[in-house]
Amino acid sequence: ISFKVNVPGADTIILVSNESRYKMHSTQLSLASACFADLLSAPGPLLSREGLRVGIRYLIVLQDFDEKTTNKLSKPVFRRVPVDSNGRPSQTYATMHESDQNPHIRASLFSDYERLLRIFANQPISFDDKTIDTLLPDAMGLVEVAERAGSVSMVAKIIESSLLAKGQDIFRAISASPIVWIDVTFRIQSKVLFKEALIHLTGKYNALVLTPPDEAFVNKYPRARNILDQLPPNLRDLLERKHAELKQFCQNIEKAVSSHYPPGITKTSVTGQAKTDPIGRLDYAKDVFTWVGVACYRHWWGQMMASYGGHDMYLRLFNGGQNYLGRDIQSGFHQHFPMSGKGQKVLQHNIDIIKAGVTKVVAPLMNNESQLDIVKSPVKWLTCTVVGGADYLWDPEVDQEPEEGSEQDAEEGAEQDTKQGAVELYGAQPVSEKAKGKRRAEEAFDEADPFVELVGKGKGKKRAVEPFQEEDLGYYDDEEDAEGEEV
């Protein structure tokens, strides 16, 4: 009898099929597999002199039918066949044939078990690793048989190493199909690859919510609404939590952009008296073009927030310069608020200063926490999601509390003051006796109509205008921009 694996002095024969036989140590199998440990828990027979010569105490056979009930085809399972004192089977048994047609098994099942048993015997294995598409089926086949045998820990690192050996190819594959890879990486308990899949899955959340589930999944679960419903509950809960964190992070950045002021425009006051402090009308008049720049920028930003969003918008803010709110768009503003040529240049300069400050505000969103080279393989979603120790569900780690004065404290402080004079204007100011009954400053403008000239009763009065038209926003069309957007 020939064996594909023949360990010297072995006491156990494993028949995966009539063509695939393995001879290994029972102790070795019990340590490597929970399934084999259960099958081998009962001691073998006391061997006779002839039995000692044969040396076989245990016989394990892979069978695809249930002998005890209906004799119908089923998923293949290992069963122990009793052995007598001579080391020979004490009853008849049936084996599988690799040429048989069984709809319950895949063609690669026997090669998957061969890889698994070779790993148990500390022998090298190989995958079809020409591409990710050929490597993934081999890897998942091995994972499946390892899960049945209760020995995932024995194969996890081997599969992880084979996948990581593909370099950027594996990271590109994960970014393209994070739904598939979050399941794969969770099953092999690979922290490196699980983190990668979770980052891209979180970044593509909004696009995936709009993606219908697979037809086979809908047939099994008719109430499924989108492809995210295909995730196991524990992974779905984790994804919802990470998406909520990213959404809150984006909102904080957007608030910081909305309250950003260029350096030098804010004034400090000690006494509140214009005679002694630079807070008089003339002092503010000197900054009029800076304030016009702030108003122009925020008008554009308000329209942008109402119409667009997501990765592309943040990328434009980060790149600054002529990537948004360029001279051609500002010309729409000057049609309603004409300026001299010199005044237009001054306004352009002030807006450029604001853009430079906003670049620093948006920079945290442009961090790439994944290992994908987004320069060579750009993506249209955010990859700034931070994966902590508690996110590895199979082996959660307690995240350490930040020490006082740590970098995280500094980052939280930066959310309140974005290094460029971001100001929160939400606090109410006390109303003096003289000011009672007067209209509050924040009520002086209609939020729905920024930069509006009020219509008077007299002739020649201009109607309300909107300096920036829809076509002035300078963005991609909705269909192209919607793919993989985060916010």
Q: Which residue has the tokens 């804010």?
A: 266
Is 260 in the same domain as 347?
yes
Helix (H, G, I), strand (E, B) or coil at 112: helix
Taking only the tens place, the pLDDT of each residue in 127-170 is 999 999 999 999 999 999 999 999 999 999 999 999 999 999 99
Count helices and strands in the chain by DSSP H and E runs: 19, 5
Is 322 in the same domain as 344?
yes
Is 59 in the same domain as 200?
no
Cα four-point dihedral sign 31, 33, 39, 44: negative
* pLDDT reported for residue 478: 41
Residue 392 lies in a domain: no
- Chosen domain end from 243, 271, 294: 243
Is 318 in the same domain as 191?
no
Q: Two tokens at 3?
A: 């064996």
Taking only the tens place, the pLDDT of each residue in 24-60 is 999 999 999 999 999 999 998 888 888 888 889 999 9
* pLDDT reported for residue 30: 95
Q: Two tokens at 382?
A: 């955010």
Q: Are 318 and 365 in contact (CB under 8 A)?
A: yes
Is 236 in the same domain as 284?
no
Residue 391 lies in a domain: no
What confidence tier does 173 reach under pLDDT thresholds 50, 70, 90?
very high
* Angle ∠(169,483,373) on CA atoms, nearest 5: 30
Q: What is the pTM of this model?
A: 0.78
* pLDDT reported for residue 303: 86
Q: Which residue has the tokens 């004034």?
A: 267
Name which residue leads in pLDDT, 73 or 95.
95
Cα four-point dihedral sign 49, 54, 58, 61: negative
In this predicted structure, the answer to whether residue 406 has a pLDDT above a threshold of 60 is no
Dihedral of CA atoms 111, 112, 113, 118 in degrees, nearest 10, equals 80
Residues 373-380 have a mean pLDDT of 95
What are phi and psi for residue 405, nearest 5 degrees? 80, 15
Residues 267-287 have a mean pLDDT of 78
Parent domain of 11: 5-110
**How many angstroms separate the CA atoms of 142 and 159, rounded?**
9
Q: Are 466 and 331 in contact (CB under 8 A)?
A: no
Taking only the tens place, the pLDDT of each residue in 217-242 is 999 999 999 999 999 999 999 999 99
**How many angstroms separate the CA atoms of 66 and 68, rounded?**
6
What confidence tier does 452 reach under pLDDT thresholds 50, 70, 90?
very low
Is 360 in the same domain as 464?
yes
Q: Two tokens at 297?
A: 């920028």
User: Across the beta sheet with 21-24, what order do the strands follow?
Assistant: 5-6, 21-24, 12-15, 58-65, 73-81
Is 329 in the same domain as 459?
yes
CB atoms within 10 A of CB 276: 10
In this predicted structure, the answer to whether residue 262 has a pLDDT above a threshold of 60 is yes
Residue 405 lies in a domain: no
Q: Are 21 and 1 in contact (CB under 8 A)?
A: yes
Question: Strand 73-81 vs strand 58-65: parallel, antiparallel, or unpaired?
Answer: antiparallel
Residue 261 lies in a domain: yes
* pLDDT reported for residue 73: 52
In this predicted structure, the answer to whether residue 198 has a pLDDT above a threshold of 80 is yes
* Number of structural domains in the chain: 3
Residues 259-288 have a mean pLDDT of 81
Angle between helices 233-258 and 341-362 (to 10 degrees): 150
Name which residue leads in pLDDT, 73 or 105.
105
Is 281 in the same domain as 365?
yes
Is 152 in the same domain as 13?
no
Name which residue leads in pLDDT, 26 or 404.
26
**How many angstroms separate the CA atoms of 296 and 347, rounded?**
9
Is 278 in the same domain as 239?
no
Closest CA to 260 of 367, 353, 382: 353
Average pLDDT, rounded, for the chain: 81
Is 36 in the same domain as 155?
no
Name which residue leads in pLDDT, 337 or 404.
337
End-to-end, the C-alpha distance of the chain in Å comes to 64
- Chosen domain end from 208, 243, 278: 243
**How many angstroms separate the CA atoms of 15 and 23, rounded?**
9
Is 41 in the same domain as 54?
yes
